[in-house]
Amino acid sequence: MYFCQTFSKKALNNIIMTEETTFRPSAGHSGQQMMQHEELSLSRETTGNMATQTRARQAEGVACPHCGTVNDAEASYCASCGKPLRVGVCPHCGSELDIDADFCEVCHHYVKTDICSFCGTELNIEDGFCPQCGSPRGGIVCPTCNTLNDFAFCKQCGTPLTDEARQLAEQFRQQPEYELLAEKAHMLDELSMEVPYSSERDVVRDQMNEKLRERILTMLAKDKGVAKPEIPPTNKQRLSKEELASRKAELQQQISNILDRIATPAMTSPIKARNYAMAQKPAGVRLAWVCNFKHAMHSSPCGCAKPQLGGKWVILGKGTRQEIKDDK
């Protein structure tokens, strides 16, 4: 009986031992057991802190309206599906818009009523004209092509429509990169009007035309009293179809390299970004503007909802017109 009572008391002591007494150092516990206990406690504390931080972040975060994922409060795009977390509504057609977009790519309307679309100045609701640049809220009709525009450059022909736009365009024209770009664009424009020869008969005909030219110029010079006139040969030589295509491809690559160097950087203002890109556009070359927002091809940055993210002009080849989103 005494043995059973003794055993039961020891067993009861072992059963009712708490976590604290189980892992408290004693003569019967080793140092390794103590370390294991400390690591377990630290792990539980860390896990608890992480769970608390996660719950707090979720409470302060932004739920994605597309997939429901909770994102950090500062996030602009969902970490799961990549779509914008904050969306607005176009006041003209009701389409969804990014909260920082100022242009609807669905109905092609400027949507910011408190920002001047020509210079970016803040407007009051009663302002019919911008107090900074004097531009009307209803837009400006281009004097060159009669297109109604919401922005400082004509989206159709590129004509600057405000004093600020004209000054910006003049500044770009004086830069060496733009001068080189305009020169290459003019050369490409001239090549596009040339007709290549397709047979030896075309070569012979050109030679006969050159001799006729020299004879006529000689006769005209002698009529003016020049005894031995010197007629300079023409520098323009007709090219074969292959040579003409090679020249065009070379010039297009040179122009593309320049356009890459003057690409529109990211800016805080979409208005300034549009004006910057439009002031760079060279004449005489079919171009499109590829934005960094959706990597879409636009006829100009005037058709992009978020040009402030940057973009660049690219040369259009044959058959690429249908790829432009906003070419209307």
pLDDT digits (tens, 9 = 90+) for 166-177: 999 999 999 999
To 5 degrees, how large is the angle CA 4–CA 8–CA 13? 155
To 5 degrees, how large is the angle CA 319–CA 324–CA 327? 110
Q: Which of 45-54, 97-106, 245-254 has the lowest mean pLDDT?
A: 45-54
* pTM higher than the cut 0.75: no
C-alpha pair distances (Å), 90 with each of 102, 105, 126, 223 = 9, 10, 21, 74
Rounded to an integer, what distance in angstroms lies between the CA atom of residue 282 and that of residue 118?
21
Rounded to an integer, what distance in angstroms lies between the CA atom of residue 300 and that of residue 307?
10
Q: What is the pLDDT of residues 22-41, one digit of tens each?
A: 444 444 445 565 655 566 55
pLDDT of residue 130: 95
The two tokens of residue 186 are: 């003019």
Q: What is the pLDDT of residues 187-238, one digit of tens each?
A: 998 888 888 888 878 778 877 887 888 888 888 888 888 888 888 877 667 7
Q: Given a cut of 50, is residue 152 above it in pLDDT?
A: yes
- Which residue shows structure tokens 């790829």? 323
Q: What is the pLDDT of residues 66-110, one digit of tens each?
A: 788 888 887 877 888 877 777 788 999 999 888 889 999 999 999
Q: What is the pLDDT of residues 287-324, one digit of tens each?
A: 999 999 989 999 999 999 999 999 999 998 655 555 66
